[in-house]
Amino acid sequence: MRAVIDTNILVSALLTPSGVPAQLIAAIRTQALTPVISESIIVLSVKLRRLRRRYKEKVLDLRLKFTV
């Protein structure tokens, strides 16, 4: 079975690991689904992953800074 994967699916999968979009990505990883995707979406997902890492690091830094 094939599934069209757009940026909304990728972003939602990153933000909510237990949600349906993440389940779709998991199905693609196990080859239960074949993704239909464009190169520009792949590039964007890589950029979003980097931004997410930076955001998490900043939140962690703030927590450490304000923890007594």
DSSP 8-class letter at 67 = -
Domain coverage including residue 40? 2-66
Say how many domains are in the chain.
1
Per-residue pLDDT of the chain (68 residues; tens, 9 = 90+): 998 888 788 888 888 989 999 999 999 999 999 988 788 877 877 887 787 777 777 766 766 666 65
pTM of the complete model beyond 0.75: no
- Helix, strand and coil percent figures for the chain, each rounded to 5: 70, 10, 20
Contacts of 55 (CB under 8 A, 6+ apart): none
